[in-house]
A and B are shown apart, each in its own frame.
Chain A
């Protein structure tokens, strides 16, 4: 009888073969994508506490910091997820480029959306934005004064995140960077969220459209949520009084 084609190709490690197959790599990108989306959602929910006043945000931030090593573990995991997301995407890019070295002279994209076609560009810009964002509010090198802002909460001295955010978003160019950066993230997620159901194989032809629309709606809802903070601060003076 025949030997299984699978058995022939299997070699020493089936897991590795799966991981570096076209579908395996895509699955990694999609699975890390889910985790990153989950982070983006959680991060937003935390950030929205700003609308509940300085104490709410600061106590949320303090709680996160009190996690200590666990926080660092989460950060490391997030970084790892992001690196995997980017690394496997790069592998895919390289192969995809090799599979279609010659473009059509009369180029005419059909069936695709602008979100899908700009995934690489939007991804790169989002990466740059994330680096800026970390430098801005986490490492606080954009404005070193952020690091020294403190306040008292329940008798403890804590970092005054509220003041930092309000001060940070009072700066026009910074707000513009956030509005644009987050817009690109939305672009990225507009294709990404709906698409990961397809990649992970948890869709069918009837439900796919719903996922796509739902994914896009979630992406834009996240956008609305995120930019509500800089927009409220910059244009509507949110928190200006509280930090006087």
Chain B
């Protein structure tokens, strides 16, 4: 009732004031974890005489599905939040137009995984293992350093992972093990997961469930190692009550060559109503002012090499020297088969 009255009032107002120029609106479809400081966005709005209209599309996969389904008459002008596990699908669906933003000059080439410039890298982060410092100190256990360590008898029943069929961190970790072990020779990724299963790995469907219900550091759970983000310890320190501890309550385990780098991309949707503004917004997202806002807002690294990274990140969210090396095209081609094989090994 309230809303229909409001709607009616708006209609009347528009009829009554002919020539009333509405400000231009740029629609941005993002995943639900998108965050930015309001004043940073307001500066873009003021400079370009535009109102930004964000809509949250759920997680990365859901957001992309919505964008693909609304092909032709898209839900938005700009799409943000597709990551490199979904990049292949976004490109195959042919929903984006290329835009070689001048801002790409400040972005390292290895982040620019789409040579057609339809998807431009905005930020990146790493999926690795977090461990509960107190648990390992109390038990006098050595913290595992490698993927192989996790299959050792001392680590029995200590690890919780996410289902790669329903969770991005879960899929990222599976891909990291595939990149590390491969499927040839004596130790394959399949045999590795079979050994994790023998070591009583716990699988849950989502990161929230793993982190808040099963990870021991969060109070309730009893598993001291969890597949999570490399920035989670820094986040925990930042969120800790004052007086803050000197180090975060959790630590990172970054296995050599086996932490997955997740890159998130932005692109302009085909059929955008405001293509000029969309290009300006992409430039803005890659510019230093927006990029410097990224770490403390979204807890990932900015792609622009010139953007400042806070001290907290440098201390507690290290960038792995050798991340897992895997080709996005290989991910798109094999994702379903990998997940199926993984389910057979770990769940059945």
* A-B interaction: no
